[in-house]
Structure 1
């Protein structure tokens, strides 16, 4: 069918070929011999039974760490057989005064997450399911964030996003949104996610990565496109090509909300989009986020609505072969009478947690 290969893909269709592996929360290339290939249905190497760990998960964690660490079994024996180990530092949750500037608050939150350190063991300690709501009867995301603080164990990028959401809840004048990257190097697909930040017309990010230039960004970027481009430059230093972008909407600040996070409101195939078109898509998404949240678009010092561009409220339904937008049920109610309703159901998230 003509042009079928250029159509956007969502849900299970985003799965790569069996000979390629998808590693989320892992931005650097490793040999296929170093880690097991990820299954499409159930990601391996995740602690699914909480704390304390059961014997199976505990022994598996040490086997994976032994295989990955340069010291091998000698490293494992030196730790497991040691009678006296140094006391582990437990970082304190940052406390803010009302007069503390937003930038300093975000820097303190990022410092706290860095003190937890990045998880290099090969086993993810917390099971994160993106379909979970903020609040609920069981297994809500904010409860997981509290558990991360209580256990103070190393985390990866997806866990860092959940923790950053919890720590930034209630910050006045700060909006958060998920920003995910899918990159390619040497025929292998990698994934990474950070929590995008917006405040007073400036963009930044919070997150964790084994690479220091792939996590935190201060609130210094005038628009969303500049923030994404800066991450792209950092990826280029590691010979990674960004092939996909996934962006969500502004998140609620109510930790007891039953609303589910919209991780994939916008999906962009970067390899099919010219740079100018990519910037336009990101600028339109930035306007959509503010309109859906009720934030004034004119609050940004670098206006994203160019002269002659129709207002998003009055513009026709946007369609593109390289991008897709979808609106959650709650957003449909707030935009009734202003935008056309979209009735497509939420597809299963193509991202798989890779540890």
Structure 2
């Protein structure tokens, strides 16, 4: 680990990871408790000397970083003044998500349980903000919920995408934002055009077709999208988020828009949101 970082991954981001590791070690009882346990488990494995030496190096790094002032490298969440318009506040939130960066390391640092209550998910979001580590699309959606909870007059709706390249299937999620008769989105992705969208789209079908176009630019065939119900603004709510309420299949041809049936379903969905409906949830 000495001076070796993945390409394009700044050293200060590793500092944040080490700060997170230090906190977790403290919660586990400190170095005296963690190191013997790890060394003990390694002794039964082949190559334990090299692995133990690697862990020793990690411990030294954690100790060093724990004594250093590395908190300044953690991105600070935006201060969303009420005198700014909604579009400007959403842009501030997206700028913050961009600063957290997408997690290209493979393993997420945080566990998001979709079955958890809003209160529990917001606690996880606060932990993400606290450590400032790189995140994936689901974590970005949850942090977006936390940071936009105080913005009145908007609906936040999860939108899960399923796409395909050859025989491989991919899944992605963004947080759609509706303000009056305009739509936008917050999110993170490996691809810049699959992340956020400005609050300029005039309808739900329009912004969804924009995502389909973006998927096509990235050589993906977008199969379907699943829309949830509006996320409660009360961050202490014990309600569970409805992640999947309306399922929409995309037309097979890039020259076609949604079928009349799909358009009708979206119209009913939007009317229900405006009327504050609470439908019985069904699997879609």
TM-score (norm. length: structure 1)? 0.58
Retained in 2: the 8 A contact 1:224–1:283?
no
Once the two structures are superposed, residues 293-351 of structure 1 have per-residue CA deviations (whole angstroms, 9 ceiling, x without a partner) of 526xxxxxxxxxxxxxxxxxxxxxxxxxxxxxxxxxx824xxxxxxxxx6xx755x9xx
- Which residue of 1 is the match for residue 13 of structure 2? none
- 1:147 positional shift: 0.6
- 1:280 positional shift: 5.2
- Which residue of 1 is the match for residue 47 of structure 2? none
In the alignment of these two chains, the number of paired residues is: 232
Retained in 1: the 8 A contact 2:251–2:257?
no
- Which residue of 2 is the match for residue 52 of structure 1? 24
Gaps of at least 5 residues in structure 1 are 1-48, 60-75, 296-329, 333-341, 350-355
In structure 1, C-alpha distance between the alignment counterparts of 2:76 and 2:161, rounded to whole Å: 30
Q: Which moved more, 1:211-220 or 1:82-91?
A: 82-91
- 1:284 positional shift: 3.3
Could you tell me which of 265, 268, 283 is aligned with 1:284?
Answer: 265
In structure 2, C-alpha distance between the alignment counterparts of 1:220 and 1:118, rounded to whole Å: 25
In structure 2, C-alpha distance between the alignment counterparts of 1:222 and 1:50, rounded to whole Å: 47
Q: Is the counterpart of residue 159 in structure 1 residue 139 in structure 2?
A: yes
Q: Is the counterpart of residue 294 in structure 1 residue 283 in structure 2?
A: no
Greater per-residue helix proportion: 2
Q: Is the counterpart of residue 98 in structure 1 residue 45 in structure 2?
A: no
- 1:277 positional shift: 3.9
Gaps of at least 5 residues in structure 2 are 1-20, 29-33, 39-53
RMSD: 3.3
Retained in 2: the 8 A contact 1:225–1:279?
no
- Which residue of 2 is the match for residue 23 of structure 1? none
Could you tell me which of 201, 205, 217 is aligned with 1:225?
Answer: 205
Q: Is the counterpart of residue 144 in structure 1 residue 91 in structure 2?
A: no
- Which residue of 1 is the match for residue 160 of structure 2? 180
Higher relative contact order (CA 8 A, sep 6+): 1
Are the structure 2 counterparts of residues 282 and 251 from structure 1 closer, same or farther at C-alpha, using a change threshold of 3 Å?
Answer: farther
Matches within 5 A, 1:104-119: 104-119=88-103
Once the two structures are superposed, residues 206-259 of structure 1 have per-residue CA deviations (whole angstroms, 9 ceiling, x without a partner) of 001111111010001000111011111111111100012111122211112222
